[in-house]
Amino acid sequence: MSIHIGAKPGEIADRVLMPGDPLRAKHIAETFLEGAVCYTQVRGMYGFIGTYKGKRVSVQGSGMGMPSMHIYASELMQEYGAKRIIRVGTCGGLRAELKLKDVVIASAASTDSNINKCRFGPISFAPSADFELLLGAYQTARERGMRATVGPIFTSDRFYSDDLPEKTKMLADYGILAVEMETCELYTLAAKHHIQALTLLTVSDNVVTDEITSPEERQTSFNDMVELALEIV
């Protein structure tokens, strides 16, 4: 039994969807999984298992930020045998052409965090998505007529940062599509444990145009992305 998830071995599937918000984990389980059972609510960080099209799938909240993702993803990989993890989150678009509700498929994650400097010292590790999952997500999104863009993202340690306008422009100039707060650590841990990981993000706001989705729009577009994740996980 792990410290933070606290489930028994075998209670969690080896295919896991991870939203940041634990209540979204509950929504996903109740909306999309058959026979969903809650295996943890330690600290309110819900985790569920059920089936999707006959296959066992879990949904585990990660919390916000890399330290929280580190705890839950580490326990899934080290103690529960996770083999495929797909983060299903929200992001701020850093480029004007990214419309609200678009899906970003994150090929790689840069960061302003110290987390990988602690691990790698002077080496600048490049946290990257699993190619098979990435390709599957892109092809499935195209088949479903979804607006999806593949590219690198920025995993920020801060949601509210004084230097965001200057940083946003510079990152966009270097090809970065969007900002969120967990993927760098998920991809790094997946590399360490030799498992497959991918991040899918719905654009909930655009940092350049200041557009923002309504709660209803967020829910519907998030559901489309979750179905995409369930198809490929």
Ligand X SMILES: O=P(O)(O)O[C@H]1O[C@H](CO)[C@@H](O)[C@H]1O
Ligand Y SMILES: O=c1cc[nH]c(=O)[nH]1
Binding positions for a purine D-ribonucleoside are 4, 180-182, 204-205
CB of 204 to ligand X, least distance (A): 7
Identify what 189 binds: ligand X, ligand Y, none; CB under 5 to 8 Å per kind: none
Using the rule CB under 6 A, which residue among 23, 55, 97, 159 binds ligand X?
Answer: 159
Contacts with ligand Y in 114-173 (CB under 6 A)? 159
207 is a contact residue toward ligand Y (CB under 6 A): yes
Identify what 93 binds: ligand Y, ligand X, none; CB under 5 to 8 Å per kind: none
The structure tokens listed for 80 are 């529960």
CB of 64 to ligand X, least distance (A): 4
Using the rule CB under 6 A, which residue among 13, 57, 137, 181 binds ligand Y?
Answer: 181
Helices 22-32 and 215-232: crossing angle, nearest 10°?
60
Identify what 176 binds: ligand Y, ligand X, none; CB under 5 to 8 Å per kind: none
Nearer to ligand X, 35 or 210 (CB): 210
91 is a contact residue toward ligand Y (CB under 6 A): yes
Using the rule CB under 6 A, which residue among 21, 75, 102, 130 binds ligand X?
Answer: 21
Identify what 205 binds: ligand Y, ligand X, none; CB under 5 to 8 Å per kind: ligand Y
Catalytic residue IDs: 205
Look-up: residue for tokens 């609200």?
100
The structure tokens listed for 47 are 């985790």
Other CB atoms within a 10 A radius of the CB of residue 139 amount to 12
**Where along the sequence are the contacts to ligand Y (CB under 6 A)?**
90-92, 159, 179-181, 204-205, 207
**Where along the sequence are the contacts to ligand X (CB under 6 A)?**
19-21, 64, 89-90, 159, 180-182
